[in-house]
Amino acid sequence: MATYSSNSYLTEYGTEMTANATYIYNYFKSRGWTKNAICAMLGNMQRESTINPGLWQNLDAGNTSLGLGLVQWTPATKLIDWCNSNGLSYTNITAQCQRIIYELNNNLQWIATSNYPESFKQFTKSTKSINYLTYAFLKNYERAGIEAANQRVQHANYWFNHLSGGGVNPSYTPRLNSDGMQGNFHWYGSGNPFYVGDYGLPNCTCYAYGRFWEIGDPNNTGENNPTSLSTGDAYEWYNHQDDYERGQDPQLGAIICFGGASPGHVAIVEEIHDNGVIVTSNSAWRGSYFYLETLTPDANGVYHYQGSSYYTSQGFIYNPFAGGGDDPVEYNKKKHYNFVLFNRRKREQQEWIRKNLMKS
C-alpha cells in the first residue's frame, strides 16, 4: 500500500490522506487496538498534521524546536533522536507508528487526567464512544495549545464511518486451512528443526516454526528461515533468547506461547478482532494435523488454550514479516536479524529424536 510523506498539507479526506489513514488503521488494528481507539487517534492526527508524517509545524522544515510528524512531536528532536538511534527515517509513517507503540510500551507521553482516567493501554482496548476517546487522546496525549476539539471529533467520526475491517491487515494473508501444507518444506524438510526422518506434522512446535517461516517466505524460495527460534518444548519458546521482539498484545503472524505446564503449546495468530479476540492456526502432537481456534482473553488479558486453566498464554513472539511490503525488510536490517538457511546433520537429527520425541 502506497503512503505519502511530505512537508505539505494533505487534502481533507483526499486520496493521499485516505491512504495514510488506512495504513495507520491496519497497522494498529493488527496490534489489537479497537477501531474506536484508532479512529479517535486519527481524528487528532488529522488536526495535528493532516495525517502526514512529513509535516513540520508551520511548514518550517528543520526547525527542531517546533512539532513534526503525525502527532506533531514537540520538540521535533523527541522523534528525530529516537528514530536516529534506531536506524529509522523520522518522516517514515511506519517509523512514527513504531514510536507510538514504543511510547505505549514504555509509559511515555500519555498522562491520564481526572476526566479521562484511562491508561494508554486501556485506551487502545476501549470501545467507549468515538467522541469520548477523541477527547481522551487530546487531553492525555496531545495536550494541544489549540484544541479545536470539535474538528477532531468530526474527523474521528468520519474515519470511523469510512474505514472498515475485522482486524485483518490486507497485506497479511491468514492461513485458515491446510491448503498447500502437505509435503511443503516449511514443515517437511531439514530446514525445520522439528522435522526428523519423515516426521513433521501433527506437532504444534513443527507447525508454528513452519508457519512463522512461511510468512517470511511467501514465494517458497527458502529465505528468512527463523533459525534462532527455540527448538525446545513449546513452554520454553517465550523465554528463549532469539532475534524477535515480544509482548503481551497480539499481532498478526505472531506466535502465541502457552506455558503453565509441560510441554505447553504454540500457535500462530491469523486474525485479530475487537476486544482482543484472536483466531489462531494450530497443530497438535498425536492430534489434529491442522485446526483453528478462536480465543478470548480473560479479564486480565490472558488467553487459555482450549479453555485450559493450566495452559495459559505467556505472551507473543512477533513476526517482522507479517506486515508485508518493504517495511519488514528495512526493520530486519536495523535489528541485524540473522536469517541464514540451515540444514541439520544426521547426527544432530538423531540426537533431537532421542531428546525431543514427546514434544507437543
| Catalytic residue list | 48
In 3D, which of 127, 163, 110, 112 has the Cα closest to residue 33?
Answer: 127
SS3 per residue for 91-139: CCHHHHHHHHHHHHHCCCCCCCCCCCCCCHHHHHHCCCCHHHHHHHHHH
**Separation of alpha carbons 47 and 60, rounded Å:** 17
- Residue 62 has a CB neighbour count (10 Å cut-off) of 9
In 3D, which of 143, 114, 137 has the Cα closest to residue 36?
Answer: 137
**Separation of alpha carbons 216 and 86, rounded Å:** 22
291-295 sheet: strands from edge to edge: 246-247, 312-317, 255-259, 265-272, 278-282, 291-295
